[in-house]
Amino acid sequence: MKPKVLVGSPVSDLYDYCFNEFLQSRKSLTYKNHDLFFVDNSKSESFSKKLKENNLQFTKIEYLENARERMVKSRNILREKVLRENYDYFLNLDQDIIPPKDIIEKMLKHSKKILTGVYFVYNNQYSNQESRYLIPTIWVSDQEITKNGFDGASVKVLPPKETEIDQIKRIVSCGSGCLLIHRSILEEIEFRYDQFFPYFDDNWFCRDAFYKGFEIYADLSIKCKHLIENKPWRWSKLRK
């Protein structure tokens, strides 16, 4: 029997600018044994109404002022659903990520427990730095990755040119925008953040996975569109 996959993510009215693309993308996924489920963390109730009108399954949480707290609470609700309802995998697809229609099939064929595809962000999305250029949300090490760790100083963003080579690659860390996670990993790791460090939960998830001895991979052949050009806000303004 094909693995059962929960596809979802935190969602909110902050992404209303790309709602139609999001809706069409999620309803176009070709893998047969998957369900869609979202966690609305919007400040108002209007976005939930929109989800309901389009027959998307969701739950609404109370609005939290802290952006990272909203993300962690939302993703842990999805984690709990995976574990409680016996899904084999959780595929987090962020609201502004448009993946290939067959992304689930492409990911499952590798039988990896943590696997990301490729999407790009601007280097300054978390800062007020003026210069901007696109980088993949994938971090690698120049040193060999072993169970004993790696030289932290050697961690760097995967050079964009390397994403042109279709291969599966072991990595150190990645964003959560198109991240497939096996339930056995979710049994060991909860999503979290640390108020004393300026990182979101995807960074902490990868850190926790790495230090628990779990391997993280990227399939560089899976390219996702990231709807950031018309985004009317920046994470550097929202993060607390």
Instruction: Give 142 or 57, the one with higher predicted confidence.
Output: 57
DSSP conformational letter for 222: E
What residue type is assigned to position 172 of the chain?
V
Distances, alpha carbon 101 to alpha carbons 2, 25, 28, 131, 170, in Å: 17, 7, 6, 33, 24
Distance in angstroms (rounded) separating the CA atoms of residues 204 and 47: 28
- CA angle in degrees (0–180, nearest 5) for 117-82-59: 95
Answer whether residue 236 shows pLDDT above 60.
Answer: no
Contact 93, 222 (CB under 8 A): no
pLDDT in tens, 64-99: 999 999 999 999 999 999 999 999 999 999 999 999
pLDDT in tens, 129-188: 556 789 999 999 876 665 555 545 578 999 999 999 999 999 999 999 999 999 999 999
For residues 16-41, average pLDDT:
97
Distances, alpha carbon 191 to alpha carbons 48, 127, 154, 209, in Å: 23, 23, 25, 11
Q: Are strands 114-118 and 178-182 parallel, antiparallel or unpaired?
A: antiparallel
The predicted model scores a pTM of: 0.91
- Residue 137 CB-density burial (10 A; 0-12 exposed, 13-18 middle, 19+ buried): buried
Q: List the structure tokens of 6.
A: 């929960």
Topology of domain 5-238, CATH: Spore Coat Polysaccharide Biosynthesis Protein SpsA; Chain A (3.90.550)
Q: List the structure tokens of 70.
A: 């909203």
